[in-house]
């Protein structure tokens, strides 16, 4: 099987390529990635051939899709804070880019797996007994999540109107190796490694539902193998934690007092809580997470950032300068 992986030089995409190389030696991979600020290609290394290009480049996408049996679409602008300072690349890449891919898979009759987020469902109250499921209405809050929601709706419409073969997944917050230092967990680990302090937005009590990136990717493969076209599957590993608890665990692991953090300006429109019910993926497709112990996964991730300073160091100063400008 020839698989085109868009965004395969980013955090989840590069881990997808490494996972696939280890677990599916029969699969032939090609990566299409623009190498934006979010990747310099070093996460991918030489694990798969890389075509540097934009998913909105219709001629390039048409050629690469025509040479593939399956497209796994990770490429996106992904950081909520960036989407608040400049939404424009989010509309271009997440909406127009996904449209460009849809038109190419339609022309060539190639299957698509579209990777999306639980943020399309909006947020939950801290004490809400419900969790997100495949039937939760869309209610995105930010420019990032609204452009991801738009991309999901385009995929669903192309299935219904044009009969393309496509599956969708909406996953909760990922953690693991190769995640950009702008994101919550890597930012706090590297702040402490740098002798600085973690920065918690608002009261620090927002809740995220954490999943190890390899569990996300094994879920994507379960859907590729056994999922039904037109269906959406939620991927989550029951990993709800407050941001404050995560920061305290990082501080403890790195030998600091667990209150050595700063509360900083809140994110405008900050979603309170995400939580996923992944019953459909588990019961219909038999998926189970391999890393359900978040505390153990976080420890391993801290060790990875400690041992791989050369990977994250080049991005750190510019990322912190951007946050400092907005008081975060
Ligand atoms: P990332 O920002 O680390 O990587 C995105 C990759 O896409 C980068 O390599 C970047 O260069 C590439 N890219 C951006 N614009 C492009 C364009 N126009 N053309 C080609 N390539 C382009 O993101 P990630 O965290 O790995 O997320 C991957 C996917 O998973 C996204 O679709 C995201 O919405 C989804 N997702 C992420 C999470 C999470 O917790 N990180 C959770 C659920 C879903
Ligand atoms: O310095 C910080 N301090 C802080 O308190 C940062 C960077 C974040 N936060 C908070 C905001 C969120 O409540 O931590 C939580 C996680 O923040 P992010 O890492 O920015 O993730 P989030 O906004 O939840 O979105 C992530 O999960 C869903 C990914 O970035 C998305 O791409 C994915 O779709």
Domains and CATH numbers, the chain: 2-175+211-235 (3.40.50.720)
pLDDT at 252: 98
User: Which residue has the CA at smallest separation from atom 44 of ligand 1?
Assistant: 117
Q: Which of 16, 19, 75 has the most ligand 1 atoms within 8 A of CB, as the residue to mutate?
A: 75
pLDDT at 198: 98
- Would the CB of 4 count as within 6 Å of ligand 1? no
pLDDT at 91: 98
Please enumerate, as own/partner, the contacts of 131-136 that have beta carbons within 8 Å and a separation of 24 or more: 131/275, 131/276, 131/277, 132/170, 132/234, 132/274, 132/275, 132/276, 132/277, 133/234, 133/277, 133/279, 133/280, 134/231, 134/232, 134/233, 134/234, 134/280
CA of residue 184 to ligand 2 center, whole Å = 5
**Closest ligand to the CA of 272:** 2
Report pLDDT digits (tens) over 90-101. Answer: 999 999 999 999
Task: Give dist(CA 26, CA 30) in Å, integer.
Answer: 13
CA of residue 39 to ligand 1 center, whole Å = 10
Query: Which two structure tokens, joined as six digits, stand for 81?
Result: 């804070």
Task: Give dist(CA 83, CA 86) in Å, integer.
Answer: 5
- Would the CB of 15 count as within 6 Å of ligand 1? no
**Closest ligand to the CA of 33:** 1
**C-beta separation of 11 from 5 below 8 A:** no
- Would the CB of 38 count as within 6 Å of ligand 1? yes
Does residue 320 come out as left (phi exceeding 0), alpha (psi in the -120 to 50 range) or beta? alpha
Structure confidence at residue 242 as a pLDDT band (50, 70, 90): very high
Strands 111-117 and 50-52: unpaired
- Would the CB of 276 count as within 6 Å of ligand 1? no
User: Which residue has the CA at smallest separation from atom 41 of ligand 1?
Assistant: 174
**Closest ligand to the CA of 181:** 2
| Residues catalogued as catalytic | 118-119, 144
Report pLDDT digits (tens) over 193-224. Answer: 999 999 999 999 999 999 999 999 999 999 99
What's the average model confidence in pLDDT over 171-187? 98
- Would the CB of 151 count as within 6 Å of ligand 1? no
Pseudo-torsion of CA 175, 177, 180, 182, nearest 10°? 50
Report pLDDT digits (tens) over 26-85. Answer: 999 999 999 999 999 999 999 999 999 999 999 999 999 999 999 999 999 999 999 999
Sheet holding 2-6, edge to edge: 50-52, 28-33, 2-6, 70-73, 111-117, 166-171, 232-235
CA of residue 197 to ligand 1 center, whole Å = 27
For the chain, what's the residue count?
328
Report pLDDT digits (tens) over 108-155. Answer: 999 999 999 999 999 999 999 999 999 999 999 999 999 999 999 999
**3-class secondary structure per residue, 260-275:** CCEEECCCCCCCCECC
- What's the mean per-residue pLDDT of the chain? 98
- Would the CB of 193 count as within 6 Å of ligand 1? no
CA of residue 92 to ligand 1 center, whole Å = 13
What's the average model confidence in pLDDT over 2-21? 98
Please give the DSSP secondary-structure letter assigned to residue 292.
-
- Separate counts of helices (H) and strands (E) for the chain: 12, 12
């Amino acid at each position: 099987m020839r698989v085109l992986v868009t965004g395969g030089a980013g955090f989840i995409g590069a881990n997808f390529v490494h996972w696939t190389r280890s677990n599916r030696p029969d699969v032939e991979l090609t990566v299409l990635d623009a190498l934006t600020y979010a990747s310099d290609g070093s996460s991918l290394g030489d694990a798969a051939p890389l075509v540097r290009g934009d998913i909105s480049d219709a001629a390039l996408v048409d050629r690469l899709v025509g040479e593939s049996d399956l497209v796994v679409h990770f490429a996106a602008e992904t950081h909520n804070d960036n989407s608040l300072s400049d939404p424009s690349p989010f509309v271009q890449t997440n909406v127009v880019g996904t449209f460009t891919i849809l038109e190419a898979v339609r022309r060539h009759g190639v299957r698509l797996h579209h990777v999306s987020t639980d943020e399309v469902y909006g947020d939950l109250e801290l004490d809400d007994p419900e969790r997100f499921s495949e039937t939760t209405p869309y209610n995105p809050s930010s420019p990032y999540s609204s452009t991801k929601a738009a991309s999901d709706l385009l995929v669903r419409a192309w299935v219904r109107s044009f009969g393309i073969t496509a599956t969708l997944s909406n996953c909760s917050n990922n953690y693991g190796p190769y995640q950009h230092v702008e994101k919550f967990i890597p930012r706090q680990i590297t702040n402490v490694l740098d002798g600085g302090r973690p920065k918690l937005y608002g009261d620090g009590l927002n809740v995220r539902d954490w999943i190890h990136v390899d569990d996300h990717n094994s879920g994507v493969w379960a859907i590729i193998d056994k999922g039904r076209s037109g269906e959406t599957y939620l991927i989550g590993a029951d990993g709800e934690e407050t941001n404050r608890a995560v920061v305290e665990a990082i501080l403890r692991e790195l030998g600091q007092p667990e209150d050595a953090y700063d509360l900083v300006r809140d994110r405008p429109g900050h979603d309170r809580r995400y939580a996923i019910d992944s019953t459909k993926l588990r019961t219909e497709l038999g998926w189970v997470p391999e890393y359900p112990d978040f505390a153990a996964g976080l420890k391993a991730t801290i060790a990875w950032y400690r041992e791989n300073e050369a990977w994250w160091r080049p991005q750190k100063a510019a990322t912190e300068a951007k946050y400092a400008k907005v008081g975060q």
